[in-house]
Amino acid sequence: MGKRVGIIGVGQTHHAAKRLDASGTELIAEAVSRALDDAQLTIKDIDAIVVGNMDHFENINYVDMWAVDGLGACMKPVFKVTTGGTTGTTVGACGYYHVASGLFDVVMAVGWEKNSESDTQAAISTCANPTLERDPFAGAIGPLATEYSMYMKAFGATEEDAAMVAARDRNNALRNPYAHSRQEVTVEDVLNSPMLSYPIKFLDMCPRSDGSCAVIFACEEKAKKLCPRPAWVHASVVRHDYTHFGDLEWKFMPTLERASAAAYKLAGITNPLKEFDVAELYLPASTCGVKWMDSLWFCEHGGAPALIRKGTFEMDGELPINPSGGVISTNPIGATALIRIGEGAWQIMGRAGERQVEGAKKALCTGFGGCSWSDVMILGADLP
Amino acid sequence: MSDWKNDVEIMVHEGKISVPYSWTVGSTLSRFYCELRDNGKIWANRCPKCGTTFVPPKIKCINCYEEPHDWVELPGTGTVETYTVVRYEEPSMHPRKAPFVYGVIKMDGADTGMVHFIDEVAPEDVKVGMRVEAVLEDEREGNILDIKHFRPIG
Ligand SMILES: [Zn+2]
């Protein structure tokens, strides 16, 4: 078991489809400066930095080298990690591991992406095996569409269930000043938006954004000294699978089931729907906001549509999901999952502004990437 | 090795994805390039805290993480700190044909070195410590090659 670790500061950029005013390094500097301000620290207080993005989105290798001025990493230990869509939670997990190991006291995790610099779909297709699956099955939308088709057939979920999730997240984004896409939409708007790949429509799907996020992790002693209400890390779990797309279990999400089960065990969670006060989940499409609820053990397999229809995950429901507007409102890919951790931490710290869930004491944060990887981090107001 | 491996025809797949990239230069470097393109001037930025002057300009001071918001115009002269003579061809990478010289030039008025070509001098006559000045292109587009190269002074 590692040492206790708390999050003491979070910063993020104002995300947008294209931030013409800022280079990648300037986006990083914006997030890092804001995280330092949030924690009331200077760069001298940071012992090590973890940074991540997906190189093929910008065609620039070695962000850990050329963005050193924006990172404040000069003459500090800096580590770059990249794991596809989960990059943000991976840099978060690495920040946590650094401090939990006892070798570093204060570590900053930084995720960023400047998706406007390239063709996101073409770049993302390079994740698929080039000699087997890239031609017939690559791209971000198709695999998510096929998994929800299967879920609809198996359990009677509908396109409207997904549209309710899309409307929820998009309307939540109206209260988040950092969100990229802030538009009021109805369930009908979502159902009437252009079909991308059945059953996923335009308003069901995440955008691509320019943005960055930084999260500062501190050891117990420093966190207590530096922060009035740290967000303590209760669990951080990563699960990867995939040999080929055809080998995946499409009806459920095995990596999310296994990662969340392991994280709940570490954090002593037995009834996640009751015990969590808020969740910031990496849901790349609204359809995942239906199907993956089963895999987070909120219900039996196939039980998610009933929970969605009851409003369980709305801001005034039993467990508000994505008060920030989530991934379908903001998606700077290498930062996306770290924003989940940052938003979850702000909820615990009481710093979530208009999107604050009053008195939030326990937050569930997830990352999704590759196909189909899952990261889970549980944050709490109480010491773990 | 299994027998079937002796007979198999080995395949190689060609990639089809070609991704076009463009890079947002950012506010800091855009200012540097606009001054270069529009006014033919080389500008540096200076950290208000430690006084370090950076050319090309930096987004944050690498020593203190302050925004180096004091902008200063440089005279465009400097001293060769180190260099090499490139004698191999790499057409996709090098904008000029070998042999050519490039190196690090410590700019007068700045604390950092700038990498660029050194020309209008025979390669064997380039010396460390040589005083040089920037030669600009007549038609400038707002990129690092608006500086054509550095040449010896006098
Ligand atoms: Zn300085």
Above 80 in pLDDT, residue A26? yes
Neighbours of ion ligand 1 (CB under 5 A): B 47, 49-50, 61, 63-64
* Paired residues of A376 in beta bridges: A237, A366
| Candidates A22, A69, A135; nearest CB to B24 | A22
Q: Tell me what the mean pLDDT of segment A338-349 comes to.
A: 98
State the pLDDT at residue A244. Answer: 79
CA distance B37 to A153: 61
Q: pLDDT by residue (tens digit) across A157-201? A: 999 999 999 999 999 999 999 999 999 999 999 999 999 999 999
pLDDT of residue B1: 59
Confidence (pLDDT) at A182: 96
Q: Which domain holds residue B93?
A: 23-152
**B13 in any annotated domain:** no
CATH code for the domain defined by A5-120+206-379: 3.40.47.10
Exposure class string for A168-184: b at 16+ Cβ within 10 A, else e: bbbbbbbbbebbbbbee
Instruction: Specify the number of domains making up chain B.
Output: 1
Residues of chain B with pLDDT under 70: 1
What is the distance between the alpha carbons of residues B119 and B102, in angstroms, rounded to a whole number? 8
CA distance A90 to A51: 9
User: pLDDT value at position A308?
Assistant: 98
Establish if B62 touches chain A: CB-CB under 8 angstroms: yes
Of the partner residues B16, B19, B65, the one whose CB lies closest to the CB of residue A118? B19
Q: Which sequence spans correspond to the domains of chain A? A: 5-120+206-379
Using a CB-CB distance cutoff of 8 angstroms, which residues of chain A are in contact with residue B59? 23, 25-26, 29, 69-70
pTM of the full structure:
0.95
Q: What is the pLDDT of residue A169?
A: 98
Task: Name the pairing type of β-strands B131-136 and B100-107.
Answer: unpaired
A6: part of which helix (H) or strand (E)? strand A5-12
Q: Which residue of B has its CA nearest to A43?
A: B65
Q: Specify the pLDDT at position A171.
A: 98
**What is the spatial distance between Cα B48 and Cα A143, in angstroms, rounded to a whole number?**
52
B116: in domain: yes
